[in-house]
Amino acid sequence: MQKRISQAALSLGDWDDLRFFLAVARSGSFTKAGELLKTTQTTVGRRLHAFETRSGTNLVDRRYDGMYLTPAGREVFKLVEAMEQCSIQIERLVVGADQGLTGTVRIATTEGIGSYWLTPRLDAFQRKFPKLVVEVLTGNDVLDLAKREADLSIRLARPTSPKLVAVNVGRMRFGLFCANAYIDRFGRPSSLAEVAQNHSIADHSSYVALPFWQDFIATHPKVMFRSNSSIAFLQSVRDGRGIGLFPLFSRFTAPDLTKLDIELDLDLPIWLVSHSETNKHARTRALWSYVRDLSRRDRAAWFS
């Protein structure tokens, strides 16, 4: 006697086996089911047998003239068809939302780029896609795109994972800046050696990717301030606590500071990064294209 199959029993094992059961139930043949699923007759039989073994009952009667559902198989067939309809509705919902560019797309970047360059330039993007929320995540930590901590990121180091897609969008070059009040009080140095001997330094702790600067800071006798916050670091230099290392685009973001005429051969590449899976989404592609084109437009002034 066939035992009754509960919906809970279908949760056991590989859900993909349900596709094979459904194809056999509809076609009445391992061969035809294989053609529908673009696989072999043997694979169909093996997957159906595995499903029957887990459920503990025969779902299909194998006869000389084809395959016929048992009473338990007919019950399972109804449940699996209902599951199929649910999956179709889920796909339509997700794809519809994606194609309609609704929902949230997240981009991770440094505090300076995110606050001073990217955010003021998002207005045109959000007028074009008014139902899309752009979430800008700033900080020095590299977020995991594979875990969907962000959809895109702007990084100062090229990613090494083969799953990540990256395009170079410029270079971040650096120079020494200070407040006019600092110059009035301590004078204006004309060389790095003079900075090392006679001047105070305010430091941003995120500059770990610049070995030259790290060595310079390690031996400097007057590092007066250090922070991992771009805002706090900027304020300390504005307050005259010391000379600070800033991206050259700071002439736009902090015009009240003075760039010293000391040339430094310090720069980092800027990469726009996405994951090979999430960059298939329309909203991710839209922001990717916008940021890429924006960086190309501003490259000469900001990132060259």
For residue range 112-149, list pLDDT tens digits in order: 899 999 999 999 999 999 999 999 999 877 888 878 88
Q: Give 276's Cβ-side CA count (13 Å radius).
A: 6
DSSP string, 90-132: HHHHHHHHHHTT-EEEEEEE-HHIIIIIIGGG-HHHHHHSTTE
Question: What gap in Å lies between CA 82 and CA 213, rounded to an integer?
Answer: 63
Q: Residue 2 in contact with residue 59, Cβ under 8 Å? A: no
Rounded-to-integer distance, Cα 29 and Cα 68, Å: 9
Strand 243-247 vs strand 152-155: parallel, antiparallel, or unpaired? Answer: unpaired
At which residue do the structure tokens 């889920």 appear?
Answer: 90
- Residue 96 has what pLDDT? 46
pLDDT band at 90 (very low <50, low <70, confident <90, very high): low
Q: Over the stretch 143-188, which tens digit does the pLDDT of each residue have? A: 888 788 899 999 998 888 888 889 999 999 999 999 999 999 999 9
Q: How far apart are CA 133 and CA 250, in angstroms?
A: 28
pLDDT given for residue 87 in this prediction: 73
Can you read off the two tokens belonging to residue 39?
Answer: 């696989």
Query: How much is the average pLDDT of 7-29?
Result: 71
Cα 38 off chain centre by = 34
The Cα 139–Cα 238 span in angstroms is 21
Q: How far is residue 179's CA from residue 239's CA, in Å, rounded to a whole number?
A: 7
Identify which of 22-26, 87-91, 99-103 has the greatest average pLDDT: 22-26
Per-residue pLDDT of 291-302, as tens digits, reads 999 998 998 889
Question: Higher-confidence residue: 106 or 57?
Answer: 106
Structure confidence at residue 254 (pLDDT) = 94
pTM as predicted: 0.65
Spatial neighbors of 38 by CB under 8 A, at least 6 apart, are none
What number is the average pLDDT over the span 39-57? Answer: 85
Would you state the pLDDT for residue 91? 59
User: Could you write out the three-class secondary structure of 128-167?
Assistant: HCCCEEEEEEECCCCCCCCCCCCCEEEECCCCCCCCEEEE
Digit-coded pLDDT (tens) for 245-299? 999 999 999 999 999 999 998 999 999 999 887 777 888 999 999 999 999 899 8
Structure tokens at 62: 């194998």
